[in-house]
Amino acid sequence: MSLISIEELERLTREKLPFARISKFRVEKLESGRATVRAPYSSEFLRPGGTISGPIMMGLADFAMYAAVLTRVGIVELALTTNFNINFLHRPKPGDLLAKARLIRLGKHLAMGEVEVYVDGHEDMVAHVTSTYSLPP
């Protein structure tokens, strides 16, 4: 069971996470230690060459990981990224992005997880992320 609801996370996003709000990131699913979030396609996400830019994928993955962490610790606004590693695997075609995050380990001070990023409707992962979050005392 998630310690935060989609409605609570949406409220937090509106009030405290302007990048996610401006990018229109939407939470699709929350489970204990897992989150699926969507970036609805916008032509503003494209970089030269007609591909979705890396910063959009990175922001979406970081938001998904934050959501996954909150499913286990509740609303802790000061949980923050301490490490973020992304591997871009395939050129993402224009379309909605889906980020599927899952916690690998939740400790007293750190949360570690991974995120898989896909273009909706395609099975090839376009990016893989590992991330660590610091949890306040």
SS3 string, the chain, reads: CCCCCHHHHHHHHHHHCHHHHHCCCEEEEEECCEEEEEECCCHHHEECCCEECHHHHHHHHHHHHHHHHHHHHCCCCCCEEEEEEEEECCCCCCCCEEEEEEEEEECCCEEEEEEEEEECCCCCEEEEEEEEEECCC
Q: CA–CA separation, 76 vs 100, rounded Å? A: 20
Domain parsing of the chain, residue ranges: 6-134
Q: Is the pTM of this model over 0.85?
A: yes
Strand order in the sheet with 34-39: 26-31, 34-39, 97-106, 110-119, 125-134, 80-88
According to the model, what pLDDT value does residue 37 have?
A: 98
- Which tens digit of pLDDT belongs to each residue from 88-112? 999 998 999 999 999 999 999 999 9
- Average confidence (pLDDT) over 44-72: 95
CATH superfamily of the domain spanning 6-134? Hotdog Thioesterase (3.10.129.10)
According to the model, what pLDDT value does residue 77 have?
A: 85
Percent of the residues in the chain that have a pLDDT greater than 90, as a whole number? 94
Is the per-residue pLDDT at 137 higher than 90?
no
Average pLDDT of every residue of the chain:
96
